[in-house]
Structure 1
């Protein structure tokens, strides 16, 4: 009987020790998690916002603040990006985004310039860029419509992403719609600025002297380049808002991105 009692007391003591150890382990795990959260926040311009929203610090930011700030940042970024590219020379005088001849036509371009048709080549290039600038005017409403549908979960995923995570989100949500909207606009713009005429003139003349005929889809090519340009510019605007206090032009941007 005495032996059974001793065994029972030993079991109780062991359970108590296990419970105490488990409590200490959980406490230590929580402390490590808090340190990891703080460390992540210090290395990410938006990490502090995420940490605040998940209880990492008392910043006074609500979920509504965060989503409102994110939507505002996207609205500003997309509007600024679209406005810059839709202006005259928005594409044409941007060294990084200027639309040049397609790769398969660059040999043709060199040959035509050598034949004294440099002016026509320059007109064809200018007309492609003018078409992209004209089409970009229709981008902002499509972006703004996608921004309205951002959820809290979308917001946190974007905030925890890299400096162009919001642009990537918009690209995934809008690229198909933008392509469908841009193509007819670009096709019409190419006609309006005589791009089709210049293109046809260039390649009609080239094809007279070459056994390898060139006839790429000009509208599809310019549409692709226009979309690349606008997402590049929107990404630049997003990164600027994340990093530069001067780019935060409203109270909600200052409140959210200044934390």
Structure 2
């Protein structure tokens, strides 16, 4: 009888041990899955994810800036073309009615040419911000929305970009003749009898619009890398975004 109890007890102990081992195995597997989930669910190391994202962003910035720096990079893109400012719409309307549409067109074209001329200067600022990105930033971007990286760049660079971009824009405005065309438009308008005098801050306006266009273009490139396998130019990008 005692022997039977002993055998039965042993069987119970073995069963409990097996069950415990299986539970432990499941627990460690679940924890491992959660760790991978925290890392982005890719099975990649955090360093690989960080390097891949930085590579992707730098690629997107370089391509986006190159696109905008070309002639018509702003002017022929309806999404980012710089129009007359809202407070000057009545100026544009009035001058076109007076047969001065050519002057208005020249002013609009020259603003866009200034933005195109200045665009390349933004690349170094963007690249510096990307290189300063932390692992936490990288993981949040990987798990974020399709424009998470662009949002990070805007948050990280917008103030400095505005400060450094305005004098560049001023130089570009003078270089392409935009300042002259702007003065011609508004001096012509302000000579019209019985109109309220208008002359918006050209440098500030073009700076804001040029920077907005830069971020829109970078967002387009980010979306391409996330959604289009053909846009992933390196093995690391394929590995990170393929997962």
TM-score interval (norm. to shorter): 0.7 to 0.9
Q: Which residue of the partner structure matches residue 82 of structure 1? A: 65
Alignment of 1:112-191 (within 5 A): 112-191=95-174
Among 19, 39, 46, the alignment partner of 1:53 is 39
The 1-side partners of 2:141 and 2:133 are apart by 10
Structure 1: runs of 5+ lacking an equivalent: 1-23, 38-48
Which structure 1 residue ranges, 4+ long, deviate > 6 Å from structure 2? none
Q: Report the CA distance shift for 1:50/1:164 in structure 2 as closer, same or farther (over 3 A).
A: farther
| Alignment pair present for 1:201 and 2:187 | no
The number of aligned residues is 217
RMSD: 2.3
| Alignment pair present for 1:213 and 2:197 | yes
Deviations 1:105-158 (CA, angstroms, capped at 9, x unpaired): 111101101111111111000000000001101011110011111111111111
Among 240, 245, 251, the alignment partner of 2:235 is 251
Deviations 1:40-91 (CA, angstroms, capped at 9, x unpaired): xxxxxxxxx973736x57x3x1111100100001001111111111111100
Q: Report the CA distance shift for 1:123/1:165 in structure 2 as closer, same or farther (over 3 A).
A: same
TM-score, structure 2 as length reference = 0.83
Aligned with 1:98: secondary structure? coil
Aligned with 1:137: secondary structure? helix
Deviations 1:214-239 (CA, angstroms, capped at 9, x unpaired): 01100100000001101001011101
Aligned with 1:219: secondary structure? helix
Q: Report the CA distance shift for 1:212/1:62 in structure 2 as closer, same or farther (over 3 A).
A: same
